[in-house]
Structure formats: C-alpha cells, structure tokens
Chain A
Amino acid sequence: MTLLTSWICCKLMHGITMHAKIFLLLLSMLYGQLPVALYAADSEHPIALLLSDNESVYHATMKAFRTEIDHSVHVFNLQGNIKKDPTLKHKLFLIHPRLIFALGAKAAFTAKLWTRENQDIPVLFALVLNWQRYNLMDQKNMVGIAGEIAPGTKFANITIFSPDIKRIGVIYSSHSREVLQQAKEAAKIFNIELYVKKINRSKDFKRSFKKIREKVDAFLVLNDPVIYTLENMDWLKIRCIKEKLPCIGQSKNIAEHGLVLSINPDLTDIGSQAASIAKNIINRHQRPDLIGVMAPLGTQIIINRTTAKRIGLILHQTSLDMATQVIE
C-alpha cells in the first residue's frame, strides 16, 4: 500500500512546480508518519502485564496499577503454566512492551526467561512470595516489590500489638531459608529471640510445632508452601487457641481462618508502588538493577478479635487503632 502511494506521488510530481512538490512531499511524509505517530501515542510504549494465573488476589494490585500508570496496559495470562499457550510469548512481544509488569512467581520467572536475550525490556515483578527462591535478580533488567512485609516492620508491629512477646517460634523449609535469615537479623534489633525448626515435609509441621511450643510466647507462620497448607492451618488454629498462643500470619486468609493476627502488604498499595517504579523507569530512565527489590510500602494489619478473646489476649486501644481490619 505504501509502495503504491509513493509511486503515485512520484508520477504526480512530474507536472507540478517545485514549491508544490516540496509541499506535497512534506505532506506525503506526514501521511507516512501519521500512523506511526498515532501508534506511538498508544502502542509504541505499552506495558505488558503478565499474570501467573487467574488468582483473584492479583486484581486489586492490577486495578491500582492501571489507574495510576499513564501508559496503555495489555494483559497476558500464563494460566499457571508456560506451556499453556505456546503463542503467548509471541503475542506479548508483538506489542513491543516498554516494560513487563509480572504478577506472581510464575509470571516473574517466565518474564525473566523471556527477556534473557532482550534485557533492554525492564521486568517489574510483584506479589512473588519468597522472591529470593527464584533467582530473579540475576538479570540486569529485573526490578521488584517483595511479597512480604519486611521482617523488621513485622516485629515492630508485633511488639506494639503485644509488648510481652519476646520469644517467637518459626518453622521453615528450604523455600523460606532467605526470609528466615532476614528475620533472624531483624529479631536481634528488636531483642526478640527466634526459635526455629526446619522441616522438609508439610506433614512434619505438627510434630515440630509441639517441639518448640513450650519455648515460645508467639508463633509466626511464614508464607512457605511447605508450612502453610490448609490442613496445617486448620490444625494450628485450634492448637493456638488451646495453647493460648498468639499465632501470627502474613495473609488475610489466615486471620479469617482464625489466627489472631496477620501482617501483610496492602495489595492496592503494591499496585500504586509498582506504577510509580514503572514511571521512573519509563519516563526518567532509571535503571532497574539500581532499584533492586523494594519492600512493599503499605501494610495491612488484620486482627481476629474472637481469637484474641479466646486466647486471653488483651487488645489495647493502640493495637486496635493500628488494625486495618478487625474480624469479630
């Protein structure tokens, strides 16, 4: 089509004045540039939003991100497996993404694989629990927001919530080794003793809990898939009430399930934070590898008052004021 247009232009130019020719040529160039300009306004710098799957936990983050970013966002979904749609990578690169925003571990890991040879495309990840496990930061185009509240923030909140808590039990697996290391360092600052126990199988959780129970006055549940199974949490809920032990988790689910306290990132805030990072990279050309992995800015504190009552935990007004949500 373009070729034909240019040929017609050339033929037409034979019989007209120089000024007219220059005018027509400029007009033709403008015509040629117009779709490019239009495309650039919307599509040359779109952001590809890659989801691990249909998990609705991503929705709040995605919504906040789209609201605050001033670029068009094209959504792609891995549907849980890289093999699910063999053309997905092609579809994603077809839009020439300016940045890939990956939500969930599978999306982040896949985005890293896909940009191995295109490291000029920044990949921003979020909602990746235990992000250290995936070696995401060994590419210079990777930048992220951690899926958990920093251990220091967590301990600060716990001590405000209940100043008597000095010894905290933690069960971990190889999934959460790095998180545990950070927690150990943070605990020192808050003068908290951590009693840790490593397990390799989910079914060893109960036994390990019983072994450390006597030594601790609170228990912290890590976002570790070996630890956090529905069966273990159901058992732990009853156990913590029986033992009158404050058990603390890092997801809203866990407080709704019956544990006394959850300290987790605010999903909407993560979306806003991601938009801000993306703008800095796109508009101010900030280098992803210099940003690294940021701690999530917003914190949600959810208190299960029914459980607190059952375990005899007195909730001071300060604790209740801190809470984002109180489950009755």
Chain B
Amino acid sequence: MYKITVAVALLLILNCTKGNAEPENKNFTTNEEDIQAFEEMFEKGPQEEDLYRADRLLLTATGSMKPIHLAPSVASVITAEDIEKLGATTLDEVLETVPGLHITPSFAHLDSIYSIRGIHTSLNPQVLMLINGIPFTKPYNGTRPAGFRLPVSMISRIEVVRGPGSALYGADAFAGTINIIIKDRFEVEGMHTGVRMSSFDGLDVWGQHGGLYKGWDVGIGIEYWRGGSDDNRVIDADLQTKLDQAFGTNASLAPGPLHTDFENYNLMANFSRKNWKIRFWGWFLDDYEGGTGSAGALGPETNINSEQILGDITWHDEKLIDDVEFTAQLSYLYRKEDAIYQGLPPGSTVMIGTDGNIFTSPLAGVTTFTDGLFGEPILIDQQMTFDFTTKYDGWDQHAWRLGIGSKLQDENTESFKNFGPGILTEGTLSDSIDSTLTDVTDTEYIFMSDQNRTVFYASLQDEWNFARKWELTSGVRYDHYSDFGETINPRIALVWETRYDLTSKLMYGHAFRPPSFAESYVQNNPIVLGNSDLVPETIDTYELAFDYRPFRFLKTVVSLFAYEIEGLIEYIADPSSNSTKTAQNYINQKGHGFEIELEWEVMPSLTLSSNLALQDSENKDTGAVVADAPGMQLYFNAHWNFMPEWYLNAQYFWIGDRHRAEDDTREDIKDNNIANMTIRRKNITQHIDLAFSVQNIFNEDIREPISSDMPNDIPMESRTIYAELIYHY
C-alpha cells in the first residue's frame, strides 16, 4: 500500500510540475541567422511600411520637396488649412505660432521684428522673407516694406526654416527663412469670396478665381483690407514729452493713442502652361499712419504709402535630358515707398546744430516747428534677378543641384523735408518753421544718394543617400557683391532615420547678411548714419534635432541649437553727438537653446499642439543678455471638431523672460499672456463658411518692448473681435 501511495504521490509531483508552465529550453533567443535574414529583407531600399507614413513636404530647405522629418533643417510648414483652423488673419499671427519665433513691433512705424532664437535687432533684417521662393528684401535697410502686413487669404502655405540658409538663398537667410507660397489655380479653383469685419473699424474683402483658359491655368485674386486704430493703445509719454520738459513747452500728444489706420490692396495673378509659369504679386499700402512715427514721438500726420510688385517668368523642364531638371527664372521687383513722417508734433521746440540738423552740436540755435517736424523720403527700388538651376539625379544615391544667377539692385531716392542740412542753416535759422517742405533730391543734403549693387552667385548642393536611412546634404554658395566683395557660405547636414518612428539630424551652417544701403550710406539724418566700412555679419549655427513619432497620433520634435555671430550691425550712439547713432559691426553674439514641439491627435475630432522655446543669448564680449528677445515662449493650441462642420480653436501664448539693455533702467519687461478663440461653421448649404473670433479674450494689457525714448513699453491691441463670411462655389 505504501508503494502505491508513493507512486500516486510521484504522479502528483509530475502533475504539479506540468502546472508550472515554464517554457521548454529550446532556442528562444533571436539568433544571428534570423537577424541577417531580417536585415537582408528590410534594411535595403524603400520598404512597404513606409507607405503608411504621412508628413508635410518642405521646399525651402533644399529647393526640392522633402518630408519635414527628413529635411535637413528645423522647419515648420503651415498650410492654408492650418491657417483657417487657427483663425489667423495676418501673416504675423500665423508666424507667432512657430516655435522660437516671436513678432514684436519695431521702433520704426511698428514694422514687425521677426525675432528668432534670440537674434533680435532694432529692425531685424536677419530674417529672409520670400514670396514663391523669391526674396523681396528691401535693400535700403534689409527689411520688409514699410508698414508691411500681409493678410492670409492668398497664402497657400508658409514654410519657416529656423537656422541659416545662405548656402541656398544667399544673403539674409541668417536667423531664419520665411517662404510664403501664394495660391495657384488648383488651390483656388472656382470662385472664393470673403468678407471679414473686425473691431476698430477693420474690414477685409477678397475675391479669388481659378480656372483653365485657352490651355492656361489661371489663378487670380484681389483683396482690400482696412485697419483702424485701437484707442486703448495709449502712449503715456514720448520723446516730445522729454523735449517739453527741457524747453518748457507743451507740444507732446502723449498721453494719446497710437494712430495705426491703413488701407491695403493685395493682388495675385498666376498663369501656368506646360513648362511655363508667369506670376505677379502686388502689395499696396495707402495712408498708413505709422504708429510711433519715425522718432519716438506721436505724430498723427505721418502718412506712409508703399507699393510693391513682384513678377516672375519661370521655365521648368524635366524632359530635355534624362535625369536632369532645368529651371530658369527671371524676376523683377518694383517698390516705391513714399512716406511723410511727422517726426515731432506741432509746437515742438528743438535745438538746431550748425549743420542744420536737429539735436546736433555745435548748437546754432533753437527753433519751433509750428506744424511739426516733417520728412518725406521717397525710395524707388528695382531688383532684377536671373536664376538658373540644374538638378541632376542620374548618379545613384545622389541628387545634385547647381545654381547660378545674378541680381541687380537699384535704389533711387528723393527727399523733401522742413529741417536738416541745406534747409536750416545758421544764417536762415528762424524762431519758427512751418510745414513747407524743401526738395533736397539730387543735392548733397539728401538722406542717401542713389545706390546700386550687382550680385553674382553660384551654389552647389548634394543630397547623398550614402546608406539606407542615412542622408548627407552638403552645400556651398559663393556670392560676389560689387560693393563689398565676396563671401562663401557652406552648410552640411546629416539626417539619420534612426528608427521607424525617429529621425535624428545634425546640422551646421554658415550664413551672412550684407550691410544694407542705409547702414552703409545714410547721411544727413538726425538719428542714424551709415558707415561705408561695414562688412557682412556672419553666423555659424550648430543644430541637433530629433523628430519622434511614436504613434501616428503623436508627433514630437526636439531641436537644440547653438550659434555664434560675428560683427552684428547695429546703430551705436556717437560719442561726439547728442543724437546720432552710426552703423557699426559692433556686436559679437552667441546663443543657445532648444525648442520642443508636440502634436497630439487625441481623437479624430480633437488635436492638441504645443511648443516651448527657450534661448539664452548674450554679447560675447560683455556677457550682456540680448535685450528684448524672449528667453522663453510657450504656445498651446486645441482644435476641436465638436459637431459635423463645427470647429472650435483655442490658442494660448506666453512670452516671457525678456531683459532690458544693460543701460536701460526701466522696469523689467512684462510677460505676455494671450488667449484667442475662434469658432467656425463650414459648408452651410455647401457654399458658405462662417467664423467668429475673439483675440486677446481676457483683454490683457499686452506690452512689447520699444526704445527708451518712450518710458513705457508699447501697448498692443486690446480685445479684438471679428466675424467672417466666406462664399465659395
């Protein structure tokens, strides 16, 4: 019996042992043979599963369409659809959502400064702006046209590359490149009309049409935009307030509101057929009141008019020779700016120097401008560019791009004013001066003589796919300027598809910005003077970026950067003068920081996106923190399709950690908190879209830093409301 019991117990042991389901000790580790077979199958050439990838395409980084995650740059692409979702109505509102980019008004008539990664100067010409890939920089001061503001209805997409781009675009692609692509026939197709009415007497009306006519794809559009002044934007004290204190006068219009009324017309016309494209883009600004005027004093009689026409004829061929693409482009830019600046208000009393200029020394006397101090500079700028590009991809794993071209820049000036050299001389100086303007065109007293410049350039770029998932993009561009000589700008970028869901990028770029005509040649100006000895500013930028998309509904991008700038040009106060500043290659700057972007499709109807940018930039020589540039920016956006055809978009911006210049003793710059909300109903009766938006919902007192001639920072728009109706058929 005992034996039976033992046998049963053994059986039991066996039973219980089976219950512990340990794996049999077979070969359950992935062996080398498996790995080899896997790699042979999947590690060479494109893979089927790549088909599941979706991404936006970027043109600006290499001159060819490339998915953003593979592009050798840190970039953002904002499509017309995104713009509509955001409820943005202007280019600047769109750009503010880009990580590391902040828009702030400049001292000069509140024109936008596109501050990128701590590269922040008084006029900020360090950002290259393109329309359809063609620069429309104003050679006078390297910026955009005076009073430039652009509505978004004609924009197909905006590509923003943060970091240098001179190896492809040459001058000015220094801190970043903003490429605005205008809609063509295919994006318009049919008729689109819209009207938007907003606070402060704002009105925007547009119409667009796209169709096929006699074999030509035609896309045309016209837009009228009117903006008013927000009376809540009150300037407490200005430069004239200081003068009033000095001379015992009462001329200042401060406290008083900023005057920012304007009218703007936009035109687009695109024609394409077979290998040819002909495009026109027109931008016309009428009667802009200029905000802060030109000298930091309220001057409501300021009147800025600007017209700009950009046209190009482009020929593109892919058939002529196998593996070769040719593109030839001739573009012409015409710009005329005629601005009457009321530098000081009526009754302003100022010191006049012996040279006839205001504030200069030695002193000739004191006079009162009974109607105010006026200057009317007229700039007529023409630029002709010829660009020829060849792409060759016949060599396996390589895509070559060779570009050559030439640009002519011609700047003609006229000037009328009631002050300054040639007008107020020691002998003729009277106690009072009226608003009669004297023509100093073609005299030595003009603010700048006519200027021109010829640029010749050649560039070479290779995209070398040297191993599966690895691509090395290297490029170099040579520029020869007729005025200051030559410059060579290389760049190199390594892009590695580290994993299916992760791309890593390591990039280096060298870029330059030539001195503008004003920085080199301005004269007879009471505030700023040119310097013909200037040399181009240069920057070396190093970037490391990771694009990680662990799920299709989650996208994250982390980019780190460090840069060093040599010879940043700024207007520096002249020790020998009370008022003037002269352009100098004065600042050597360094900076570093990072940006994090997140985009999360929580559910098909709800997308959350956010970005955070931190930067720390300083003067290399003195260690002084770069003034006014935000050290930290946070952006949050939620887009919710809460019912069929109903969309709600909420935005929140936080701009902070901004420092004053070392010698500026004013209080710290206030952080900004801005919340916007837009609700949109689309396709009412299939043809009508309606939107209602509130910007700065909580009516925050938003301030942007500005020159110390104004004791307080400049107030931005208070709560703004708009209603929009779009009809498309």
Contacts and interface: CB of A to CB of B under 8 A. Distances in A.
Contact of A225 (B48, B189, B399, B553): B48
A319 interface: no
The 6 closest A-B CB pairs, nearest first, are A2-B16, A80-B500, A56-B552, A225-B46, A32-B15, A129-B48
Given A5-B16, A114-B34, A10 B5 contact: yes
Interface in B10-64: 10-13, 15-21, 23, 26-30, 34-35, 37-38, 41-42, 45-55, 57, 64
A82 B42 CA distance: 10
B6 A231 contact: no
Contacts of B13: 2-3, 6
Contacts of B34: 82, 110, 113-114
A228 B23 CA distance: 43
A44 B21 CA distance: 9
Interface stretch (A158-166, A201-209, A279-287): A201-209
A229 B21 CA distance: 47
B8 interface: yes
Interface stretch (A33-41, A62-70, A137-145): A33-41
Nearest to B14: A32
B21 A203 contact: no
Given A81-B38, A88-B30, 18 more contacts: A2-B13, A5-B12, A5-B16, A25-B12, A29-B15, A43-B21, A52-B49, A57-B552, A81-B42, A84-B499, A94-B28, A96-B23, A130-B48, A225-B46, A230-B65, A235-B65, A241-B186, A328-B683
Interface of A: 1-3, 5-7, 9-10, 13-14, 18, 21, 25, 28-29, 32-33, 35-36, 39, 43-44, 52-57, 79-84, 86-90, 93-94, 96, 104-106, 109-110, 113-114, 117-118, 128-130, 133-134, 147, 175, 201-203, 206-207, 210, 223-226, 228-231, 234-235, 238, 241-242, 251, 253, 306, 309-310, 328
15 contacts: A3-B13, A6-B13, A29-B11, A39-B21, A54-B500, A56-B553, A57-B552, A83-B38, A87-B29, A109-B37, A117-B26, A210-B318, A228-B51, A253-B54, A328-B683
Contact of A93 (B2, B12, B26): B26
A231 B57 contact: yes
B11 A54 contact: no
A52 B1 CA distance: 59
B362 interface: no
B9 interface: yes
Nearest to A22: B8
B206 to A, nearest CB: 20
Contacts, number: 187
Interface of B: 1-2, 5-6, 8-13, 15-21, 23, 26-30, 34-35, 37-38, 41-42, 45-55, 57, 64-67, 186, 189, 217, 318-319, 322, 393, 396, 399, 499-501, 550-553, 683
A82 B38 contact: yes
A310 B189 contact: yes
B9 A7 contact: yes
B23 A93 contact: yes
B393 A210 contact: no
Contacts of A113: 34, 37-38
B319 A104 contact: no
Nearest to A55: B52
Nearest to A37: B19
Nearest to A244: B212
Given A10-B5, A238-B186, A207 B38 contact: no
Contacts of B500: 53-55, 79-81
Given A6-B13, A109-B42, A104 B49 contact: yes
Contacts of A33: 15, 19
A207 B319 contact: yes
Nearest to B30: A89
Contact of B186 (A6, A35, A105, A310): A310
Nearest to B5: A13
A89 B26 CA distance: 11
A5 B189 CA distance: 83
- What secondary structure prevails in chain B residues at the interface with A? mixed
A145 to B, nearest CB: 15
B586 to A, nearest CB: 44
**Most B Cβ at <10 Å: residue of A14, A106, A129, A230:** A230
Contact of A175 (B2, B48, B67): B48
A203 B393 contact: yes
A36 B10 CA distance: 17
Contacts of B553: 56
A134 to B, nearest CB: 7
Residue among B16, B28, B34, B67 having the largest count of chain A Cβ atoms under 10 Å: B16
A134 B41 contact: yes
Contacts of A207: 318-319, 322
Contacts of B189: 306, 309-310
Contacts of A206: 318
Interface centre among A2, A5, A33, A226 (most CB of B within 10 A): A2
Contact of A83 (B12, B15, B30, B52): B30
A202 B52 contact: no
Nearest to A36: B19
Contacts of B319: 207, 210
A203 B16 contact: no
Contacts of A234: 57, 65
Contacts of B45: 225-226
Contacts of A242: 186, 217
A240 B453 CA distance: 43
A256 to B, nearest CB: 8
Given A113-B37, A230-B55, A55 B49 contact: yes
A96 B28 CA distance: 12
Contacts of B322: 207
A251 B19 contact: no
A90 B55 contact: no
A89 B399 CA distance: 40
Contacts of A328: 683
Nearest to A44: B21
B48 A81 contact: no
A6 B67 CA distance: 67
A56 B15 contact: no
Contacts of A96: 21, 23
A55 B298 CA distance: 59
A54 B501 contact: yes
A158 B430 CA distance: 88
Contacts of A35: 16, 19
